[in-house]
Amino acid sequence: MRNIFKPGDKKQLKTTARLCDSVSSSEDGAIQFYTTSCLARDVESIMQQFVLEMQEKGEQGVGTYLGIDFKSQAFIDEEITITAWVDQMNNNELFCFFEAKVGERLIALGKTGQKILKQEMIDLIR
């Protein structure tokens, strides 16, 4: 594993909330939002941007932590910008804070973690 990032280093991901990403929040299905599971998927994607640069041959990133604090909702067809920045490295585990916004409107804040493990270690767990 290459320890190439320092606290504060950032990555960004832009995505558009799609109908297939939504759940209905009313009986008639009129109001639909970007879901928690989709935000989690997109946060995982942004963490992989860090991990792919850090891992060496025979290593993989494995999610270890995800905390999300929603502040607002994102609606279908809105562009969401997720920014993640390095908080700390503990041995082979990377922790990042993140925020998700639609324009200047804050959608969510959170923290996430990934461990970089050798493939042999992952194979032992199976």
Q: Which sequence spans correspond to the domains of the chain?
A: 10-125
pLDDT of residue 123: 85
Tell me the whole-structure pTM to 2 decimals: 0.89
Of 43, 38, 91, the closest CA to residue 67 belongs to 43
CATH architecture of 10-125: Roll (3.10)
Please tell me whether residue 55 adopts helix, strand or coil conformation. Answer: coil
pLDDT (tens digit per residue) in 42-89: 999 999 999 999 999 999 999 999 999 999 999 989 999 999 999 999
Residue 5, CA distances (Å) to 10, 91, 96 in order: 9, 13, 11
- Structure tokens of 94? 């990377």
